[in-house]
Chains A and B, each alone.
Chain A
Amino acid sequence: MPITRRQALLTGAALAVSSTAGACGSSDAGSSGAEPLSDADLGAALKAGGSLTVWSWNEPLRKTVKDFMAKYPEVKVDLVNAGTNTDEYTALQNAIKAGKGVPDIAMIEYYALPQFTLAKSLTDLRELGAGKLKSAFSPGPWNAVGAGADGVYGLPLDSGPMALFYNKEVFDKHKIKVPETWEEYFAAAAKLHAADPKAYITNDTGDAGFTTSMIWQAGGRPYSVDGTKVGVDFADAGSEKFAGAWQRLIDDKLLAPVTSWSDEWYRGLGDGSIATLVIGAWMPSSLQLGVKSAAGKWRVAPMPQWEKGAGKSAENGGSSLVITEASAKKTLAYAFLRYATVGAGVQSRIDEGTFPATTEHLGSRAFQDKKVAYFGGQRINRVLAESAEQVASGWSYLPYQVYANSVFNDTVGKAYVGGRSLQEGLKSWQDASVEYGKEQGFTVQ
């Protein structure tokens, strides 16, 4: 793995970058004169101060902002919760269209980034010197913020390599072994539900992000994107492998009919009726904040595999901070971005349970060895960091994934309430995505 080795070598450089990001006026030996912005420029901007508007629904970022303002009292950061994911994107798109009320900085999930870069709504951060930050981030998130090799449109805020979160108490009670493969997982699903009809292995009512991540891990690459040429094909082997297998859970009614993030969902995670979640590494903070009653019961294990010991995972969720093209304070905004994504701000969020995207923190002893009390003192970061290294490569989302995901339940969702199979659902999702792509002027293969 040459990339990993280079990363390791460059971690030192990343450290240097992040430690000087905050230091006012000190010049960074690593930055070349060709870069448009030096650290001195950033330091000067921080000293001069001003106000920034940041849109984000990420709770841990609140701490980062607080720490930042304590360190740079001249800068006032106004953190606004403009809605969660699609609600925020809608608001952001409307603001950009109206040319009014556009924030300087916004949080955008990786899957939604292409839609905004395509519309040229975001600043290419290479102009501000972000090109040299490549080594600071793990490759998955770094690829996600770069539209191909065409630019850097955001800096990774967190990442979501997937893992299996399971309720150990429930597993122990029914003598279920932690599944290493999907076959074992499906067997566990049947065993658990037979033993306790109120308990389910997991919940699923049709979730676009989950489905695409599962297909990602299974080796499917349904989306191909080359500039304005896109392809959508859910008939590939990986997609069919997932759809065929998951259909069994639907047919046998082994999935709790509970929608994620609903009150019922949190209750199910707390009372043991939803026994596992296969989800991104950002989940610990949500569990700790949302399901306090289950403290000590949950554990983390590697994602189940299609072939035993294959060691493959996928990303699920994860988000970046971007600077809007409309922002009038790009230098100051970039200074904040650096602080929050590679500087001291990362640690404040890790302390709140966020899973970082920075190689420095992922590789650090303190991070890997941290025993998390909520998870019964398990060193969960080891499992999660390992998953980050195992993320399968070559995945891309559609440049209009936000729209595609919005019609997921119209199409694939039908499979969850009877009437059609997952495969048929994926086919009609594909049709809807192709049709929209054509309408929007893409060349669709």
Chain B
Amino acid sequence: MAPVQSAAAARPLPVRKTRRSWTGWGFIGPFALVFTLVFLAPIAYSVHLSLFQDRLIGGTTFVGLDNYQRALQDREFWEGVGRVGLFLVVQVPVMLGIALLVALALDSGRLYGKSFFRIAIFLPYAVPAVVAALMWGFLYGTRFGLVGDIDDALNTTLPDPLSPGLVLASIGNIVTWEFAGYNMLILYSALRVIPASLYEAAEIDGAGQLRVITAIKLPAIRGALAIATIFSIIGSFQLFNEPSILRSLAPNAITTSYTPNLYTYALSFNGQQQNYAATVAIVMGLITMVVAYVVQLRGMRKAA
């Protein structure tokens, strides 16, 4: 009996300490477990994959950073990055501009059938991206699609929206159609929480609608705009569904390395180059992070 007691008495402190730390783990545990499994583990596995090479002849070998070196010199990859970069600087401002205009129009209170417009503009977001791309693909058809019908009716020859020179713009159109409503909703909800007292003050000061927009509304939703921009940047860099679906209609205009994500897919599924695909995905992830971070910093500085 005595030895047991003395042993227990000898370590009261560690026991209490252990209990305290376990309590913390109890709270954080479920989150940590899921976070590790679904977030950290896949990233770690991708990094692991990117250090190897699996060849049809010779099997799997450790190659260190060779894959990264290859990615940095990969013309196809950087052309893809350039393409989504161009897409980003053209499509995102257009889409957010439309979203902002619509949000301000809805918020102005001068629109009849406000809730109908709100739902109508948001509706495309509820259409699955695959369905949207297919639908637009049919509209773009120059033989049996809408473009073809217009040509037939008016006896014109419209440029082919799926030709190599125009297909990026056509994809931009689809993405704008899909996501303008979604961004509109983000901006609109930010507009709704502006205190009415600010508007009353503006009215007393004799400010017009334009002045209200530039002095009150826009500064108030700057944070929401920054968020919408970051989402859109990530979306642009991850462009995949639309070009992937349209590829079956325009196989010669959209290459297998058209966007970095398509390239990763092709590498991994057509070429069995999972290791290099993982490398490309990691590099692209880093680029996205850097760009999104820079935009976020800028957005915050302006807000401050």
Contacts and interface: CB of A to CB of B under 8 A. Distances in A.
B75 to A, nearest CB: 11
B58 A403 contact: no
B256 A406 contact: yes
How many of chain B's residues touch chain A, expressed as a range? 20 to 34
A307 interface: no
A402 B269 CA distance: 10
Contacts of B55: 439-441
B169 to A, nearest CB: 16
A259 B256 CA distance: 17
B156 interface: no
Interface string A266-284: 0100000000000000000
Contacts of A80: none
Given A417-B163, A441-B56, A93 B272 contact: yes
A161 interface: no
Contacts of A267: 144
A109 to B, nearest CB: 15
A262 B143 CA distance: 13
Interface in B28-56: 55-56
A409 B255 contact: yes
A62 interface: no
Contact of B57 (A402, A403, A436, A440): A440
A51 interface: no
The main secondary structure of chain A at its interface with chain B is helix
Nearest to A439: B55
Contacts of A441: 55-58
A205 B251 contact: yes
A76 interface: no
A353 B256 CA distance: 35
Nearest to A409: B251
B57 A228 contact: yes
B270 A259 contact: no
Interface string B235-274: 0000000000000110111011100000000100111110
Contacts of A118: 56-57
A259 B272 contact: no
Contacts of B271: 403, 406, 436
A442 B252 contact: no
B251 A400 contact: no
A33 interface: no
B82 interface: no
Contacts of A416: 252
A90 interface: yes
Contacts of B163: 417
A264 interface: yes
Contacts of A400: 56
Identify the interface centre among B57, B141, B164: most chain A CB within 10 Å of its CB.
Answer: B57
A264 B143 contact: yes
Nearest to A415: B252
Interface string A392-434: 0000000110110011011001101101000000000000000
A440 B252 contact: no
Contact of B164 (A264, A403, A417, A439): A417
B98 to A, nearest CB: 31
Nearest to B247: A409
Contacts of A436: 271
A43 interface: no
Contacts of A37: none
A318 interface: no
A402 B143 contact: no
Interface in A89-126: 90, 93, 115, 118-119
A56 to B, nearest CB: 20
Contact of B143 (A93, A206, A258, A419): A258
B144 A410 contact: no
Interface string B158-195: 00000110000000000000000000000000000000
B57 A410 contact: no
B56 A399 contact: yes
A399 B252 CA distance: 24
B207 to A, nearest CB: 55
A205 B143 CA distance: 14
Identify the interface centre among B55, B56, B58, B273: most chain A CB within 10 Å of its CB.
Answer: B56
Contacts of B270: 86, 90, 402-403, 406-407
A414 B55 CA distance: 29
Contacts of B143: 257-258, 264
Contacts of B248: 259, 262
B91 to A, nearest CB: 23
Identify the interface centre among A206, A409, A442: most chain B CB within 10 Å of its CB.
Answer: A409
A119 B56 contact: yes
A258 B144 CA distance: 11
A399 B55 CA distance: 13
B66 to A, nearest CB: 11
Contacts of B269: 90
B252 A409 contact: yes
Contacts of B256: 406-407, 409-410
Contacts of B266: 406-407
B249 A259 contact: yes
Nearest to B257: A410
Interface of B: 55-58, 141, 143-144, 163-164, 248-249, 251-253, 255-257, 266, 269-273
8 contacts: A118-B56, A205-B251, A257-B143, A258-B143, A407-B256, A413-B252, A442-B56, A442-B57
Given A403-B272, A417-B252, 17 more contacts: A90-B270, A93-B272, A118-B57, A205-B252, A262-B248, A264-B144, A400-B56, A402-B270, A403-B270, A403-B271, A407-B256, A407-B270, A409-B251, A409-B252, A410-B257, A416-B252, A441-B57
Ranked 7 nearest A-B pairs via Cβ: A441-B57, A413-B252, A406-B270, A441-B55, A410-B255, A409-B251, A440-B56
